[in-house]
Chain A
Amino acid sequence: MILLTVIAFPLIAAALAQLYPRSRLGADATCIAALITLAITMRAAAEVIAAPTHVLVAIPYWVAMDGLSALMIVLVAFIYVTAAFFSVGYMDFRQNGGSRRYYVNFNLFVFSMLMVPLMQEPNIVWIAVELTTLFSVLLVGFKNTHEALEAAWKYIVLTLMGASIALLGFFLLFWAAGQAGIEHYTWSGLVAVAPRMSPVLLKAAFVFILVGFGAKVGLVPLHTWLPDAHSQAPSPVCALLSGVETTVILYAILRLLPVLNAVPSIQADTWLLTFGLISVGTAAFLLLRITDYKRMFAYSTIEHMGIILTAAGMGGASAHSAAMLQIVGHAVTKSFSFLAAGAVLLLIGNRNIASVRALVRQAPLAGAALLLAGLAIAGAPPFPLFLSEFLILKAGLQNGDYLVVGLLTIFIAIAFFAIMNHVSRMALGAGEPASRDAGQRGALPFSCKITLIVAAVPILVLGVYIPDGLAALAALAAKSLGGG
C-alpha cells in the first residue's frame, strides 16, 4: 500500500490548491505534501532494499517498484521538496498572481513524474510520460510573455511529436510481445520473453521509442525545444524539468535495455552510444557561445543526458552503476543549479550572462551558490559528477571502448571549460555589468535562502561520501539494467 500513498499526496495538494485559491493553503499544502512524499519514498526505498526479491508490489502486474524505480522516485521526491520550498519565496517575490494555477499544475506535474517509474505496463508508462508534458506545458508558459508562450508551444509540439513516434514504437513492442506469447505485459514479462521476440519488430520498436522519447530527454536532433523551455519556465519548475523530468523519461528508455540485451543482433548499444555522443558533443560546442545563464544550464542537461546514455551503451556492471551515480549526481546538482540561477534572476532581473559580474561581493549567498553550481555541474572534483564521470570513463577503458572514451573526454573537457568560463566571470569577474534592470531588487526571500543551503548539502556530501542506502539502491538499479 505504501506505493499508492506515494502518488496520493501530490494529488491532495493539487486539489487543495484548486479548492482554496485565495489563502496560502496551496503553497503550504505543496510543501507539506512534498515533505511527506519524500519520507514515504525513502521508507519505500528502504523496504525495496530489505525485501528478499528487491521488488515491492502494490497491484500485481500494474504497480510495483524495484531498485531502478525506487532510485528515480527518491530523486523526484527530493527535488519536489526543494522546488516546492523555493517556489514559496519565488512566487511571493514575483507577485504576478496566478499562484493557484501554478500550484495545481506543479503538483500534477510531480504526480505524473512519480507515475512513470511505478507503472509496470509499458503502455501506461507512455501515457504517464505524455501527462508529464501536458501538466508541465502550462508551467513553462506561466509567465505569459511572448517568449514564454513561444517556449511552451515549441515544447508541446516537439515533445508530443516524439510521443506519437514513441506510441507507434510501443504498439510494435506490444505486437512483438504478443507474438512471443507473453503472459503478463509488464517490463519484467518483456525480459522473460525477449529471446523469443521477432528481432526485426523489437529493433523497430526500440528505434521508434528511442527517437520519440529522445525528443523529451533532449537528445540531439530533437533537442531544440529544451533550452527554450528550461530557460523560460519559472526557476523552481526548471529544477524539476531539468533535474528529474528528463531523467524519468530516460528511465523509460533504459527499461528496454535488458530486453534488448537478450537479442544481440539488434546492436542497441551502438544506437545508444551514437545518440549519446552526438548529444554530448553538440551540447559542449553550443555551451561555448551561450549568452543566457539559464540556457547554459539547459544545454548542460543535454550534455549530461548524452553522458548517461553513452554510459548505458557501454554496457557492463561498472559502466551501469557509474551511470546510476551520474543520474543521482545530475539530478541533485542540476536542480540546485536552476535554483541558484533563479536566485540570481530574482536579484539581477535578467538572464544575460554579461549583466552579472562580481556577484559574490554584491550578494554573497547567491554568488556562492552560483559558483558552487557551476563547479559541480561542470564536473570539478570533489563533487558527485566528477566521481561518476571518472567512473564512466574508467569503465569505458576497461571495456576497451577507446574511441568512445576519447571523444567523451574531449567533449566533457570543452563543456567544463565553457561553463567555468561563464560562471567564474559571473561570480568573481571584475568590472561593471553590461546592463541592469533598475539595480538591486531587494534581498532574497527567506525560503529561497534556506532551500539553497539545504539543496547544497547533497552536492557537498555525495562527492566524498555515499551513504550505504544510496549505494545499495544504485547497485540494485544498475542490476535492473543488466537484465538481472
Chain B
Amino acid sequence: MTYIVNLNALAGGLFIIAAFGILATRQIRACLKLFILQSLLLAASALLLGLSPFSIHLMAVAAINLVTKVFFLPWLLRRLLNEEVYTRREISQAITIPSALLIALVLTIGAYFFSLSWVETASAASAIRINVPIGLAGLLIGALTLTTRREAVSQLLGLLAMENGAFFAGIAIAQGLPLIAELALAFDVLVLIFVAGVLTRAVHERTGSTAVGRLSSLREEPHE
C-alpha cells in the first residue's frame, strides 16, 4: 500500500502549493480556480485514505467536498455576483505579495516543527505525518490570505481555505467521526457559503463594490 501513501503525499504537496497560489493570485477568477483545485486535492486525499482500510466516512467527506466546494460554491457565486467581480485584479493588498509569500513560508516551516510533537506517536509511513503538518500550514496560510486580502470574495476563499486546512488534518486523525457529524458539517458549509454569498451581494449593492477592506467607519473615534 505504499503507492497510496505516496499518492497522498503528492496530493498534500499540491495542496500546500494551491494554498500559496490562493495567497499570491490577484485575479479573483484565478483565485477561485485555485481554491477549487485545493478542494479537489482535499477530496482526493480523503478518497486515498479511505481506500485502505475502506472507510465509508472518508468517502462521505470526499463526496461532501466535491458537492459543496467544487460545484455549489462556484455556481452560487456566479448567480449572486456579476462578471465584473471575477475579472477584477486586486491591486490594494495589506502587504505586498512577495512579503506575504515569505511569511507563508515561515508559517509552513513553523507548522511542521510545531506539529512534530503531535505526530510522534504515529508510525513513520502513516498518512498522519503528511496530513497534520500540511493541514496546519494550510490553516495558517488561509488565515494570512484572509488578513491580507481586501475583497469580499477572496476573503471568503481564505476562510474556506482555512477550513480546508483543518479538514486536511482531520481526515487523517479523525477517521471515526460519526456519519451524522459529517452530514451536519455538509449542511454547515452550505449555509456558510450561502450566507457569505448573500452578504457579499448586499455589500456590493450597498457600496457599489466588494472591497470590504475599505469598510472602516466603525471605530473608537468621536463622532462628528
- A and B: real partners? yes
Query: What is the interface residue range for chain B against chain A?
Result: 35 or more
Task: With CB as the reference atom, state the residue of chain B lying closest to A138.
Answer: B195
Binds B, one of A71-79, A122-130, A271-279, A304-312: A122-130
**Complex interface: chain B residues within 8 A of A228 (CB):** 218
Q: In the complex, which residues 189-224 of chain B have their Cβ closer than 8 Å to any Cβ of chain A?
A: 191-192, 195-196, 198-199, 202-203, 206-207, 212, 215-218, 220-223
A153 and B152 alpha carbons, distance in the complex (Å): 9
Task: With CB as the reference atom, state the residue of chain B lying closest to A299.
Answer: B220
Contact B155 A157 (CB under 8 A): yes
A317 and B127 alpha carbons, distance in the complex (Å): 44
Contact A161 B191 (CB under 8 A): no
Is B125 close to A, CB under 8 A? no
Known: A127-B185, A164-B139, A164-B166. A171 touches B173 (CB 8 A): yes
Contact B217 A150 (CB under 8 A): yes
**Complex interface: chain A residues within 8 A of B215 (CB):** 146, 149-150, 153
Contact B174 A174 (CB under 8 A): yes
Is B94 close to A, CB under 8 A? no
Is B83 close to A, CB under 8 A? no
Known: A146-B217, A174-B173. A121 touches B136 (CB 8 A): no
- 1/0 per residue, CB under 8 A from B, across A117-156: the answer is 0000101100100110010011001001111011111101
Is B162 close to A, CB under 8 A? yes
Is B2 close to A, CB under 8 A? no
**Complex interface: chain B residues within 8 A of A83 (CB):** none
Task: With CB as the reference atom, state the residue of chain A lying closest to B167.
Answer: A167
Distance in angstroms from A108 CB to nearest chain B CB is: 10
Contact B218 A151 (CB under 8 A): yes
Contact A291 B222 (CB under 8 A): yes
Distance in angstroms from A351 CB to nearest chain B CB is: 9
Known: A175-B173, A175-B174. A164 touches B162 (CB 8 A): yes
Contact B169 A171 (CB under 8 A): yes
Binds A, one of B35-43, B48-56, B96-104, B175-183: B175-183
Is B121 close to A, CB under 8 A? yes
Contact A171 B181 (CB under 8 A): no
**Complex interface: chain B residues within 8 A of A200 (CB):** 117-118
Q: Could you say which of B163, B180, B199, B207 contacts A167, with CB atoms under 8 Å apart? A: B163
Q: In the complex, which residues 265-324 of chain A have their Cβ closer than 8 Å to any Cβ of chain B?
A: 286, 289-292, 295
A389 and B219 alpha carbons, distance in the complex (Å): 30
Task: With CB as the reference atom, state the residue of chain B lying closest to A229.
Answer: B218
Is B159 close to A, CB under 8 A? yes
Count: A-B pairs, CB below 8 Å: 128
Is B142 close to A, CB under 8 A? yes
Contact B188 A171 (CB under 8 A): no
Is A377 close to B, CB under 8 A? no
Distance in angstroms from B155 CB to nearest chain A CB is: 6
Contact B163 A164 (CB under 8 A): yes
Contact B188 A153 (CB under 8 A): no
Contact B170 A168 (CB under 8 A): yes
Contact A153 B203 (CB under 8 A): yes
Chain A residues proximal to chain B, CB less than 8 Å: 121, 123-124, 127, 130-131, 134, 137-138, 141, 144-147, 149-154, 156-157, 160-161, 164-165, 167-168, 171-172, 174-175, 178-179, 185, 198, 200-201, 204, 227-228, 231-232, 286, 289-292, 295, 352
- 19 A-B pairs with CB atoms under 8 Å apart are A123-B178, A124-B181, A124-B184, A130-B188, A146-B215, A146-B217, A149-B206, A150-B212, A153-B152, A153-B199, A153-B212, A161-B162, A168-B166, A175-B174, A179-B121, A198-B121, A200-B117, A291-B221, A352-B223
Q: List the 3 shortest-distance A-B pairs measured between CB atoms, nearest first.
A: A150-B215, A175-B173, A164-B162
Chain B residues proximal to chain A, CB less than 8 Å: 117-118, 121, 135-136, 139, 142-143, 146, 152, 155, 159, 162-163, 165-167, 169-170, 173-174, 176-178, 180-181, 184-185, 187-188, 191-192, 195-196, 198-199, 202-203, 206-207, 212, 215-218, 220-223
